């Protein structure tokens, strides 16, 4: 990961100590959680890659500290996503995942984002805006069988919608897909034909590309976790715990499924 994308938390603490020693001495309780950082500098550090960050899927649980389908006062966090919009368009991703995707886009700097499942185009537009802001460019390609449902406002110069039937992978233009520049961020929210689609896409992915499978709990072909693990291993996809566990174990709508190509 390029140095300019590291979390420079330790740099901040060093600057604080260097330039404001009297302030720290005279007001030790002024800084709230920063005070906790100062007392635990080793836990702040830089956003490096610990050896345990990347693990095989069978070595990380599918269980969640608070999964996206458990109920809160108003319903599950996945359901609550339907109450939120982006630029007035439906964007079903819960807040945890929006933060995770934003961080991953900054870290990965994907030249291509591939989305399966367009719905109204709200998340596609969000991805295009995030990519433009955080990467300075790139393209988003969103695939769905119901393109007539895409809202006219879901427009961006780098966003392209494609009408395909994911049950029939021949409807995908493999030559065009292969021409798309890497790194790739593949986001699957279509829940369709995963046993064939994931290997199909992973065969074109390069090491370091990401494949996020959303809602693995509710996808019939992957209800049995052993099937999901076998599929991930077949495709040489391993779990990135930085994203599955950022807010607690699998607090995401993609439990055990923030995957990176080996």
Query: Can you read off the two tokens belonging to residue 214?
Result: 């959303």
What is the percentage of the chain residues whose pLDDT exceeds 90? 61
Averaged pLDDT for residues 109-121: 97
**pTM score, whole prediction:** 0.88
Per-residue confidence (pLDDT) for residue 215, from 0 to 100: 83
Say what the pLDDT of residue 72 is.
56
**Domains in the chain with CATH codes:** 3-44 (no CATH), 54-261 (3.40.50.150)
pLDDT tens readout for residues 18-64: 999 998 888 877 778 788 888 888 777 666 667 789 999 999 988 88
CA 212/CA 202 separation, integer angstroms: 12
CA separation for the pair 226, 63 (Å, rounded): 13
**pLDDT tens digits, one per residue of 66-82:** 767 665 555 666 666 66
More confident residue, 134 or 218: 134
Pairing status of strand 184-188 against strand 258-261: unpaired
Which strand (E) or helix (H) includes residue 133? helix 122-135
pLDDT band at 221 (very low <50, low <70, confident <90, very high): very low
């Amino acid at each position: 990961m390029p140095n300019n994308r590291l979390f420079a938390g330790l740099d901040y603490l060093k600057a604080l100590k260097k330039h404001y020693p009297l302030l720290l001495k005279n007001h030790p309780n002024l800084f709230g959680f920063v005070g906790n950082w100062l007392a635990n500098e080793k836990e702040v550090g830089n956003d490096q890659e610990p050896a345990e960050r990347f693990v095989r899927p069978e070595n990380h649980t599918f269980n969640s500290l608070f999964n996206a389908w458990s109920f809160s006062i108003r319903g599950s966090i996945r359901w609550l996503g339907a109450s939120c919009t982006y630029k007035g368009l439906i964007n079903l991703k819960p807040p945890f995942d929006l933060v995770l995707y934003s961080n991953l886009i900054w870290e990965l700097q994907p030249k291509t984002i591939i989305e399966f499942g367009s719905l109204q185009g709200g998340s596609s537009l969000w991805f295009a805006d995030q990519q433009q802001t955080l990467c300075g460019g790139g393209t988003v390609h969103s695939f769905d069988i119901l393109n007539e449902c895409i809202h006219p406002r879901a427009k961006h110069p780098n966003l392209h919608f494609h009408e395909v039937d994911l049950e029939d992978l021949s409807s995908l233009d493999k030559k065009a897909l292969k021409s798309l520049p890497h790194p790739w961020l593949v986001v699957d929210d279509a829940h369709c034909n995963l046993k064939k689609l994931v290997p199909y896409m992973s065969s074109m992915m390069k090491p370091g590309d990401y494949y996020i499978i959303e809602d693995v709990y509710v996808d019939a072909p992957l209800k049995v976790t052993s099937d999901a693990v076998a599929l991930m291993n077949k495709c040489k996809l391993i779990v990135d715990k930085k994203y599955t566990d950022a807010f607690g174990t699998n607090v995401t709508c993609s439990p055990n499924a923030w995957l990176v190509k080996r």
